[in-house]
């Protein structure tokens, strides 16, 4: 049997887990990123939505676009929220290409548990970078995903990329 080295997992395993409310709801909307935002892996805060790294990514750089307002369905968003949501999807694609130098991007929104939403009560869209020849064979063979960089490092890199794109 082959061993895989994933030192960041022990930090998660030993951490105290509190489940108070929605994991996506932020206390302060818009403005500059706070230390708490960075710890939650938020990389950009827009007017009506924000972007964060997925804590359990399918690939390195897996981003999510999330409205501040706690809604379950894209049809529940007001026009300005939908517009901001799509603008952040657009900017996230630019950031993924800049940071990850990916060849493609999978995008998706799962509406409801039956559609595969892990967190069905707060709308969020996924953007997953992909590369030519990236077959993710290890996920099929060993039920393991390889993430080559710490999430905290990626948060800083993406926050800087978003800042540069928005200037």
Q: Is position 124 annotated as part of the catalytic site?
A: yes
Catalytic residue among 19, 62, 122, 124: 124
How many residues are listed for the chain in this entry?
167
Instruction: Please give the model's pTM, rounded to 2 decimal places.
Output: 0.82
**Of 5-19, 36-50, 54-68, the least confident:** 5-19
**27 pLDDT tier (thresholds 50, 70, 90):** confident
Quote the mean pLDDT of the chain.
86
Give the N- to C-terminal CA distance of the chain in Å, as an integer.
Answer: 50
CB 147 within 8 A of CB 57: yes
Q: Which domains does the chain have, with CATH numbers?
A: 28-166 (3.30.428.10)
Question: In the predicted model, is pLDDT for residue 75 greater than 80?
Answer: yes
Q: What percent of the chain stands above pLDDT 70?
A: 79
Give the mean pLDDT of 5-32.
72
Residues in CB range of 148: below 8 A, 6 or more apart: 60
Question: In the predicted model, is pLDDT for residue 56 greater than 80?
Answer: yes
Q: What percent of the chain stands above pLDDT 90?
A: 62
As to burial, measured by CB atoms within 10 angstroms (0-12 exposed, 13-18 middle, 19+ buried), residue 128 is: buried
pLDDT number for residue 7? 61
Question: In the predicted model, is pLDDT for residue 1 greater than 50?
Answer: no
More confident residue, 20 or 13: 20
CB 126 within 8 A of CB 54: yes
Give the mean pLDDT of 60-85.
96
Question: In the predicted model, is pLDDT for residue 8 greater than 80?
Answer: no
pLDDT in tens, 107-153: 999 999 898 888 899 999 999 999 887 765 555 445 555 566 788 99
The angle subtended at Cα 124 by Cα 157 and Cα 102, nearest 5°, is 40
Question: In the predicted model, is pLDDT for residue 89 greater than 80?
Answer: yes
**53 three-class SS:** strand
Reference 152, options 8, 31, 44; nearest CA is: 8
The CA distance from 149 to 60, in Å, is 7
Give the mean pLDDT of 3-17.
59
């Amino acid at each position: 049997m082959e061993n895989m080295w994933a030192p960041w997992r022990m930090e998660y395993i030993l951490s105290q887990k509190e489940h108070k409310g929605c994991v996506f709801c932020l206390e302060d909307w818009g403005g500059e990123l706070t230390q708490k935002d960075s710890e939650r892996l938020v990389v950009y805060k827009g007017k009506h939505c924000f972007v964060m790294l997925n804590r359990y990514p399918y690939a390195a750089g897996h981003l999510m676009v999330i409205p501040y307002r706690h809604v379950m369905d894209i049809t529940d968003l007001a026009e300005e929220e939908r517009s901001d949501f799509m603008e952040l999807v657009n900017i996230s694609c630019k950031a993924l290409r800049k940071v990850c130098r990916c060849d493609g991007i999978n995008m998706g929104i799962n509406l409801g548990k039956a559609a595969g939403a892990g967190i069905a009560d707060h709308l969020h869209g996924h953007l997953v970078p992909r590369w030519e020849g990236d077959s993710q064979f290890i996920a099929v063979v060993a039920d393991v995903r390889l993430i080559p960089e710490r999430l905290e490092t990626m948060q800083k890199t993406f926050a800087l990329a978003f800042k540069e794109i928005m200037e």
